[in-house]
Amino acid sequence: MCGIVAYVGPKDAAPILLEGLQRLEYRGYDSAGVVVSNRGLKLRKVKGRVADLAKVVPVRFKGNLGIGHTRWATHGVPSDENAHPHLSADQRIAVVHNGIIENAGELRAKLVADGVAFASETDTEVLAHLIARAADENDTLEEAVRKTLKLVVGTYGIAVIDAERPGEVVVARNGSPIVLGIGEKEMFAASDVAALVRYTRQVVHLEDGELAVLKADGFHTFASDARETAKEPLTVDWDAGHYDTGGYEHYLLKEISEQPETITRTMSGRLDERFHVAHLGGLNMDARETRSFRRVKIIGCGSAYYSGQIGAQLIEELARIPADAEPASEFRYRNPVVDPNTLYVAISQSGETYDTLAAVQELKRKGGRVIGIVNAVGSAIAREVDGGIYLHAGPEVSVASTKAFTSTSLAFALLALHLGRVRDLSPADGRRVVDGLRRLPGQIEEILAQGDKIAELAQKYAKHPGMMFVGRVRGYPVAREGAQKLKEISYVHAEAYPASELKHGPLALIGPDMPTVAIVPDDELLDKNLTTLGEIRARGGQVLMVGHREPAAKLADDVIVIPKNEIELDPILLTIPLQLLAYHAAVALGRDVDKPRNLAKSVTVE
């Protein structure tokens, strides 16, 4: 992985490919490259950023067809040689690839035994050599690609061009997204609509096991057995302006600042003031079916998993249905018992997270009822599930999730309200929750207004080699997400624990060089949380408290006070100052905030 762009049409391909790759930089990568076809293949690729690639692409790098790629290393270290595209030995075939070829070692060994010399350490180069061999035996590039993919075990999103067929691009998908863009007498393909929206908003999503041939005047899609498939274009709601920084220094700060608007969009049209309920027609479930579920199981990865923990708490409190969250990568491998009375909820901002998608497919195979909470319309998980909730948060460009996390947590509040009002949540409690949801955007604005104060605190605490995050019950998933944000963009080591667990081991780490961020809402556990702060202070630990009021005693070195909402909804607000803390800590330490090292935005490999 990480980013693919392809073009065929009347225009010069190279500027389109480079611009598309720039749009995909947010996904995380270590090298980049492009190849165009014009009386042979012309290739440029480098270790480094797309800007570095642009410097080595000559002015006369002409061709009306080409493919480009940004790579996130899986096989071989980041280097010029391991960067994509990869060419066959005869320079006829060029391939870009997202995913992992699991039997690449076996295939490579056979090719080496046949005398093929490899130029890289990648699994992708195997595809280039195999397709070139098949192309010598077949009349069409699509047949050569289809024949080669039958030999492959693993995941892939690929784009292939043939120097001897300069008018077409072949793309294929299995577990890694490929989106076609339909232009005016030109065609595009990419791994993400971000690379397409400047040129077209008419897109087609390939399904797993599907291939497509792109020519300037159109496209056709087909399955791995050559059977033609029918595809209907979708219109993308986002445009190129959604991918600009909008005057902010970083995408991450822009996306944190957008949250009053994004959660308003998530709620829009979904709150019923008359019956104090959430309307979620996309679930595709009537009241009788909704009442039949006896448990809710939530699956996701990373921040999506932590928002699932917040969601499980909301569902248990408001709907009184047992609920829990689990990492999708663990769930899919432990041979889970799939219960017909359990509602399964899959979370993914991109809708393409491979572990979550694979878990959904396993659940569907076993007859489970699965709904999705996703941001990207038309994504793989959105197409796979039985129903769900779109976040409508707009594209999230920075690798670290902020507005999508908040909108996901809000979507769980809507789901919990919906489930609760179908069951035993009273109209009065329904009204209380609806009123609380209405207050959230304004309260987030109040927290954002404290940005300068939080920036000063971030500079103070970022100098430490590590930090502890603690919270109880509703505060624990907030602490986990806060630690995740800090470690992924500032590279400061951070751990999160239930506050009550500190004395069962982690308290040994507490001291002057290990400050603690404590999540202390004004709820029924306030006194117990304050006792924990006393334990930390007694051992010389610094405390940064995030809560609803200053503690009566001197139990914290610093306090971030936020507005109070309903107890069940407070975790949504408590996450906002932790996002700002992580952002400003990363800036203070000079980190590449939007593109943290070793990470990718959409994880489409295991």
DSSP-assigned letter for residue 401: -
Q: What one-character-per-residue DSSP string does 455-506 give?
A: HHHHHHHTTSSEEEEEE-TTHHHHHHHHHHHHHHHH--EEEEEEGGGGGGTG
The number of C-alpha atoms within 13 Å of 396 and in the hemisphere containing its C-beta is 29
From the number of C-beta atoms within 10 Å of its C-beta (0-12, 13-18, 19+), residue 281 rates as: exposed
- Please answer whether residues 23 and 15 qualify as being in contact, where contact means their C-beta atoms are separated by less than 8 angstroms: no
CA 518/CA 559 separation, integer angstroms: 9
CA–CA distances in Å: residue 527 to residues 74, 523, 531: 48, 9, 6
CA 398/CA 594 separation, integer angstroms: 5
**In terms of Cα–Cα distance, which of 46, 51, 48 is closest to 19?**
51
DSSP-assigned letter for residue 81: T
CA 290/CA 366 separation, integer angstroms: 20
* Displacement of CA 2 from its chain's centroid (Å): 12
DSSP-assigned letter for residue 557: S
For the beta carbon of residue 79, count every other beta carbon within 10 angstroms. Answer: 17
366-370-376 Cα angle (round to 5): 130
Burial string for 183-197 (b: 16+ CB within 10 Å, else e) reads: beebbbbbbbbbbbb
Q: Would you call 2 a catalytic residue per the annotation?
A: yes
CA 356/CA 369 separation, integer angstroms: 15
Pairing mode, strands 93-98 and 271-272: unpaired
Q: Would you call 601 a catalytic residue per the annotation?
A: yes
CA 189/CA 212 separation, integer angstroms: 10
- Please answer whether residues 545 and 560 qualify as being in contact, where contact means their C-beta atoms are separated by less than 8 angstroms: yes
- Please answer whether residues 358 and 383 qualify as being in contact, where contact means their C-beta atoms are separated by less than 8 angstroms: no
| Residues involved in catalysis | 2, 601
